[in-house]
Every structure is written in structure tokens, then in C-alpha cells.
Structure 1
Amino acid sequence: MSESSRLSVLKTYKLYVGGKFPRSESGRVYEVTDHKGTWLANVPLSSRKDARDAVVAARKAFGGWSGATAYNRGQVLYRVAEMLEGRRNQFAHEVAHAEGLSKSAAAAQVEAAVDRWVWYAGWTDKIGQVVGGGNPVAGPFFNLSTPEPTGVVAIVAPQESSFLGLVSVIAPVIATGNTAVVIASERSPLPALALGEVLATSDLPGGVVNVLSGKAAELGAPLAAHQDVNALDLTGAGPELAKELEIAAADNLKRVLRPGPADADFTADPGTHRLTAFLETKTVWHPTGSLGASGTAY
């Protein structure tokens, strides 16, 4: 059979949950098209059960990931950037179809996304010094504040910036020791699902990032109301959906990150606000004085 007459093997896209690639438990799929309306793929239409399974996987992974050293997390994130660099042509192709960009514009966006991932990898062992430190107190005590990860973060990924925006919301969450459940762009989910393949073949433990494709309105509600989700990123939610999810999130006092002016342009300097958005501050008091033989302060 000649090369020109053979049929191409179509790619099967699946969810990425707990380090594995399941289909939606509902068996549902929906069609994804490019900006011209040309069919690209069928992708899973995630259900509420898929969302709950992703939260279970994220919670299971949280202890080990948050307990890893910041330096180790930085090494793992840098490894992800290496893997992205090696597959940049594939992602440029995905982004070009998803967002209607030229090949050169899509390639530039992928390069920016890789650079963004490296940038956040470098922050893992530095953010503690920026937002933590010693506090002045009146008395014979040390008073030290240190940042700790919030926990499981549910993310509504940007709808338009399907790769650079996606990286910009995921990387800071996991760089600071949190785990994530991500609802990919409904219109352009392919870059997010392909990112799951990269994460699975990097050193990132399964469950640290979980990627769901489908309708944000259908998946956001159970995640916002879930008692084991600690925080919510509403970057990709429209005003009405964001209001609905924020009300649901108040039930167990979730942290909520609302879209701001900086989220309108993901090519701009991201700053540190996403790194600090899902950190809790722990303050410890310790008496001052000389140390005894046991190392205890007196």
C-alpha cells in the first residue's frame, strides 16, 4: 500500500486523572472543531463523577507533593519544561488549530508557555523568602511566618488562551505545593489534554494535576461545592458562572481567585500574585534564650 493511500491513525483523546488516562465514566464525547468549523477530534465530555474522581486523586497526591522539598518541586517542574520543549512542534500545531493562529504565532506562544513554566519552576524555593520571614515582637520570642500550600485547587482554565493561559494558571498552583483539578477550555481542550500526556511522562507524581474536558458550567458546580476542594480559580469562568461558583465555594470557605486585569493578557509579566493566591501563612512563636544540651531553648 502506498503512503498516499493509507488511512491515518486518528488520535484518541482521554482525560488525565490520577496519573492515568480514563475515558469519561459517562461514555459521552463531544466534537471539537477549529476556528473554521473543521472537525478536529472527539474528546470526553466529563461528568460530575469524573470531577469527584479527580478530587480524590488530587487529595491523595497532596501529602507527598506538599511534603516534598521546594527544590525538588522545582526540579520536577523544570523536567516538565524539558518535555514541553521536546514536543513544541506538536503543541504549536495544536495551538494553531485551536486559536486560528499562523504557524509562527502559535510557535511563539508555545515558546512563551515553556518559558513561563521555567519561570515558575525557579520560584519554588524562593517564594518562601519573599512572603515569609521573622516578625518583630515585644518580648523574648522569635515569631516566624512561613507559607504553606492551601490544598486541592479547582481551576477553570482560560477559554481563549488554550495553552499559554493554561500553563499560566497550572504552574503557580503546583509550584507552591498544591494539587490541581483543571477544567480545560471547552472550545479548545486539545492542548490541555496533550499537556496531560507530557505530565504523565515527566517526574510529576500522578494526581498532582488532573485534567478534565467538558462544560465548565457542568463541572464547576460540583467542584465549587465539594467539601474536599480548598480553593477555586475562576479565571476561565464568565461573569454569571463565576458568581454562581463563588457562592457555592463560600459553603466551606474556599479561597477564590477572581480574574483580574493581568489575566486579560497572558503574554505580560505574570508577577507573583498567582504564586501567593493559594498559600496560607503559618506563624510560629518560639522562646529565645540559650540552648541546653538537648537543643531546647530556655
Structure 2
Amino acid sequence: MSDESQKAKAKKTAAAPKAAGSGKPAATRTRKPASQAAGASRIPARVDVLKTYKLFVGGKFPRSESGRVYEVTDSQGRWLANAPQSSRKDARDAVVAARKAFGGWSGATAYNRGQILYRVAEMLEGRRAQFTAEVAAAEGLTEAAAAAQVDAAVDRWVWYAGWSDKVAQVVGGANPVAGPFFNLSTPEPTGVVAVLAPQESSFLGLVSVLAPVIVTGNTAVLVPSEKAPLPALSLAEVLATSDVPGGVVNVLSGRTREVGATLAAHQDVNAIDLTGAAGDPGLAKELEAAAADNLKRVRRPEERETDWSADPGTSRLLSCLETKTVWHPMGV
């Protein structure tokens, strides 16, 4: 081959376009077969397996007595799951379970209650990813914001658990009297408490109203957020596998007006927290009037309780306690 022909061949090779990131001409690049690329599109889409939750009553998971369920959607209207719609019979059953559990729970030592509640916090931490996803879907938050809400809820639970054996020291005490007597005041749990959880804060607000009720020895019938009940129903699954005795917490999802009216009028419910009716002043007044017929202790909804990340203080701990004063003669 002459020098002229060799130079012409070298120029032709240099002029050929190169493959990105390689020294080979584009003509030598290999491509994925069209049949292989198209194969991915032939994989059928999976059918959504949506969960149908159950109530949590007496440590068990019964279906609603009425058999009703309702669709739970996320902030964009997408269908997430089915939640049971509680009936009046379900509410009555929950009160019976709460009353049955009250003696053992209130009779346990405060230190033991604190240990049990701390165990719940450990389990919540282990299911952090699940609660983060549920809170994000329910409240339309980013994953980071929902994770911050879940972390705050777990911290709030631990904070209240720590109060179990300290609240008596803050509220109780010895009273000075004029005479040869001891006069001692100690806090006692109120009894069965109906709790209407906040509508907008599906997990942090829920923990903020539930934990102070049970840490002080009360038992609870909880009505979670009507539009976002999934974090509460998942919390019930945590409680069922923890050391919390059955009946201490009972969870009734459904229509707040329907379930709340039954609990407010129930003769064996000792107190009711109307926080979940804050967005409906008319409903709050109706429930308060129904509770007045049987002299229930009522915690009215407060407008300031919109920022659940704020310091909760001790007001909720004290709202479901009664002071018992005992006189003892002094030995001479």
C-alpha cells in the first residue's frame, strides 16, 4: 500500500464520530435488542391490595357491629385503605371493656405504668417508617416533615411516660391542720375517659391527647381523626403487641358526631375530651350538653391547641385526675 493510500485511510478513521466516553467509533457500539427493551412494558401492573382495618376493643380486633366501612383517602383524594365505621353498639362495647380494665390499670404502680408506656415508645420507634408514610399521606406533608412529626410524637410519648411516677409529687402533698391529725392529698384517676382526637394532627395530636389520659391510670375510648384514622389504627396494632393490658385503650374509627354523641351520653363514661370537635362549635356544644346530663368532667376544645409541637405542659395530666384527701389521727 502506497503512502498516499495509508494517509487517506487514517484521515477517514479519525473523521468517524466517537462514542461518548469511549475511543471506539459510533458504528461499533452495541445496542440492546428491541425485543428486550419492549419486554419491560409487557409486565402487567400489580393490583393494589388495600387493607381493611378493624376496631380495637378490649385488646382484640373485632369488625364493626354494623359491618360498615368507609374509604380513607390521602390529601390528593387517592384511596389508601378501608376503615371501620363504628356504631353506637361498638361504643357501648368499648366502654364496657374500658371499665373492666380500669381496676387493674389504676391499681398498678405508677412506676410499672411508666415502664409499659416506654415499651410502647420503643415499638413506635421500630415502626417509624410506616407511621411516617401514613402521616405524610394523611396530612399532605413531605417525607421529611412527616418524619419530624413522628419523631415528635414518639418523644412526646416518652415525655408523658416519665411523668407516671412524678405527677403525685407535683399535685399531692401534706396539708397543715389545727389538730392531732395528718391530712394527705393524693391524685386519683377519674375513670373511663372518652377522647376525641384532633382532626388535623393525625399522630402527634393523637399522642398528645391520649398519653396523658392513660399514664395517670385512666382507661380510654379513643375516637381518632375522622378523615385520617390510619395512624391511630396502626397505633392500636402496636398497643396490642405491647404490654398494655387489653381494654386500657379502645380505638373506634368512624364519624365523630355519631360516636361522640353516644360516648357523651353514656352513664359509665366519667370524662370526655372534646378536642376533636374543635372545628365544629355546634357539635362541641351538643356533646357538652349531653355530658352535663350525667355530670361528666368535660375538657373543652381550645383554639390555642393548633400547634401540637409546642410544649404541652401539665394541664392535660391534671385534667383527668381527682384529688383524694385522707385524714389520719396522729399517735400521742
Query: Does the pair score TM above 0.5?
Result: yes
Runs of 4+ in 1 over 6 A off after TM superposition: none
Report SS of the residue matched to 1:113: helix
- In the aligned structure 2, how far is the partner of 1:262 from the partner of 1:204? 31
* Contact 2:56/2:250, CA 8 A, preserved across alignment: yes
- In the aligned structure 2, how far is the partner of 1:119 from the partner of 1:142? 33
Q: 1:249 aligns to what?
A: 291
- The question of 1:286 aligning with 2:328 is answered yes
- In the aligned structure 1, how far is the partner of 2:50 from the partner of 2:241? 21
- The question of 1:260 aligning with 2:302 is answered yes
* Alpha-carbon shift at residue 186 of structure 1 (Å): 0.5
Q: 2:19 aligns to what?
A: none
* Contact 2:198/2:206, CA 8 A, preserved across alignment: yes
Instruction: Please list every run of 5 or more consecutive structure 1 residues that lacks an aligned counterpart in the other structure.
Output: 291-298
Q: Which has the larger radius of gyration?
A: 2
Question: Match of 2:281, as an amino acid?
Answer: P
Q: 2:254 aligns to what?
A: 214
Aligned counterparts, 1:1-298, within 5 A: 6-7=46-47, 9-237=49-277, 238-290=280-332
Task: Give TM-score, length-normalised by structure 1.
Answer: 0.94
* Alpha-carbon shift at residue 11 of structure 1 (Å): 2.1
Question: Match of 1:175, as an amino acid?
Answer: V
Question: Match of 1:77, as an amino acid?
Answer: L
Task: Give TM-score, length-normalised by structure 2.
Answer: 0.85
- In the aligned structure 2, how far is the partner of 1:76 from the partner of 1:223? 27
Q: 1:295 aligns to what?
A: none
* Alpha-carbon shift at residue 262 of structure 1 (Å): 4.2
Q: 1:294 aligns to what?
A: none
Question: Match of 2:282, as an amino acid?
Answer: E
* Alpha-carbon shift at residue 121 of structure 1 (Å): 0.3
Q: 1:217 to 1:111 in 2, by over 3 A?
A: same
Report SS of the residue matched to 1:82: helix
Q: 1:211 to 1:139 in 2, by over 3 A?
A: same
Question: Match of 1:89, as an amino acid?
Answer: A
- In the aligned structure 2, how far is the partner of 1:144 from the partner of 1:124? 19
* Contact 1:29/1:42, CA 8 A, preserved across alignment: yes
- In the aligned structure 2, how far is the partner of 1:11 from the partner of 1:244? 34
- In the aligned structure 2, how far is the partner of 1:38 from the partner of 1:17? 28
Q: 1:146 to 1:262 in 2, by over 3 A?
A: farther
- In the aligned structure 2, how far is the partner of 1:89 from the partner of 1:42? 20
Question: Match of 2:203, as an amino acid?
Answer: F
Moved more, 145-154 or 256-265: 256-265
Give the fraction of aligned pairs with identical amino acids, expressed as a percent: 79
Instruction: Please list every run of 5 or more consecutive structure 2 residues that lacks an aligned counterpart in the other structure.
Output: 1-39
* Alpha-carbon shift at residue 138 of structure 1 (Å): 1.0
Question: Match of 2:283, as an amino acid?
Answer: L
Question: Match of 1:209, as an amino acid?
Answer: V
